[in-house]
Amino acid sequence: MGEPREKPLLSIKNLKKTYQTHEGELEALGSVSFDIYPREFVSIVGPSGCGKTTLLKIIAGLLEKTGGELHVDRDQFDPSREVGFVFQKSLLLHWRKVLDNVLLPIEILRMDRGRYRDRARELLELVGLRGFENSYPNELSGGMQQRVAIARALIHDPKLILMDEPFGALDALTRERMNLELHRIWTESGKTILFITHGIAEAVFLSNRVIVLSARPSRMVATEDIDLPLPRTLEVRASPEFGRHSLRIYKELEIQ
């Protein structure tokens, strides 16, 4: 017999979400089920409006589910303190310097700010922003602001990082650079990342697994294990294996 599989960090079973609107009930999530394992990079793709952001907000505790189960392994992490969130926009506080923006979760969690200043500087170096500690957000490009947001999400050493289309507003070249940067951060930090994207190529490049959701009310229709070699470089996008993964995901989305 083979070695038993590692316990999942997060388990979702038949998760449902229904909104009450002026026109009646709107079923966003029909029945979504999947597990996330430690140190995985999992991307979720699906048609626009299928509930990807809703799903992420439920996992983060920002929305209540309507039905189903969401289980976290509390022996592995505390979801109230060990989840980081990177939104579609950086949401930096424009009146705070970069270093102070990174330290914001430390203040919210009432941790010792002084103990984490050096860690914040290390993270800014990790995301390529050494020397920008005392800059203000409006002095940075969009890509640099998202790097600050990633550093902020890492500052309290979360086990799980949730990312909601963090590069969607960036130009193509900056987005490619941020993909490389995020992949490097993931491989060096060993974090577990759940990543929402509309981009099939982005999902295949970054992930070791891609989950495909159907149109609303969404359900999981496919999962694609990505067996491309690590670390990833841009050249991998030209490989036949990359194309095969992308085509299978595209076909699953096409029939939705």
Question: How far is it, in rounded angstroms, from Cα 209 to Cα 203?
Answer: 8
Mean pLDDT of the chain: 89
**Same-domain status, 18 and 142:** no
Neighbouring CB atoms inside 10 A of 132's CB total 18
pLDDT value at position 113?
A: 87
pLDDT value at position 185?
A: 85
Does residue 200 surpass a pLDDT of 50? Answer: yes
Strand 160-164's sheet: what is its strand order? 67-72, 10-21, 24-36, 218-225, 209-213, 41-45, 192-196, 160-164, 83-86
**Same-domain status, 175 and 142:** no
**pTM of the complete model:** 0.89
**Same-domain status, 172 and 216:** yes
Does residue 5 surpass a pLDDT of 80? Answer: no
**Same-domain status, 72 and 108:** no
User: Which pLDDT band, with edges at 50, 70 and 90, does 256 fall under?
Assistant: low
Number of domains in the chain: 2
**Same-domain status, 177 and 54:** yes
